[in-house]
Every structure is written in C-alpha cells, then in structure tokens.
Amino acid sequence: MSTSERTGPDTATWREVQDSADFAELRRRLRRFVFPMTGFFLVWYLAYVLLADYAHGFMSTRLFGNVNVALVLGILQFVSTFVITTLYVRYANRKLDPQAEKIRAEIESKGVGE
C-alpha cells in the first residue's frame, strides 16, 4: 500500500452523512421498495410451498399435455424473480442512484478521500 492511495472519509464524516436528511431520505426510499416487495415475494413463495405440500390435487391438475398447475406456478416463481429484479433496477435508477450520487458529490466536494 503506497502513501499516494486515496483514503476514505473519516468516522466523523460518515457520522455526519448518516445523520443528514439526504441519507435519511435515501434510506426511506430504499425501505419503501424493499420491504413491501420482500413481503410480497415471501408470501408468494410460501403459498407455492404450502400448495405443493398440502394441495396435491390442485397442483397436479393437468392444464394441457404434461403441463400441470405446479409446473406453471414454479415457472412463475422464476418469472416473478426476474420481474422484481427489473423493477428494482428501474426504481434504483430513478430514485436511489441520484440520491446516492448527491450524497457522494457532497462528500467529495468537501475534499474527503483525496
């Protein structure tokens, strides 16, 4: 490690950022998306597991050919994962990243880490 490497902000700066209104807003925006979506997905996943374990007749209902309800719901688990990921990326690009960039710019404007 050479002495010319950049160093990060000190503890006081991090505490100041953590106590700032901008950081509180960033944290609030993150939680506004993550908590409901996590709850939704856990309920959706638990419903699938419970149906698979306790509703054999329903899950084995044949829809067409060899495709039954269990297979379709299982595939929808994967689809919902990709949809949630896409929604998160879009949300982060619109709401989280600009706020985080603002906080970063404020820290760097103070000459911290140079």
94-107 tens-digit pLDDT: 999 999 999 999 88
Residues spanned by the domain of 60: 23-111
Distance in Å from the first CA to the final CA of the chain: 15
Sign for the CA dihedral angle at 37, 91, 80, 27 comes to negative
For residue 9, being part of any structural domain is answered with no
| CA pair distance 44, 73, nearest whole angstrom | 10
- Average pLDDT of the chain, as a whole number: 91
38-65 tens-digit pLDDT: 999 999 999 999 999 999 999 999 999 9
* Cβ-defined contacts of 44-48 (< 8 Å, 24+): 44/77, 44/80, 45/77, 48/73, 48/74, 48/77
In the chain, the number of structural domains is 1
For residue 15, being part of any structural domain is answered with no
pLDDT band at residue 12 under the 50/70/90 scheme: confident
For residue 12, being part of any structural domain is answered with no
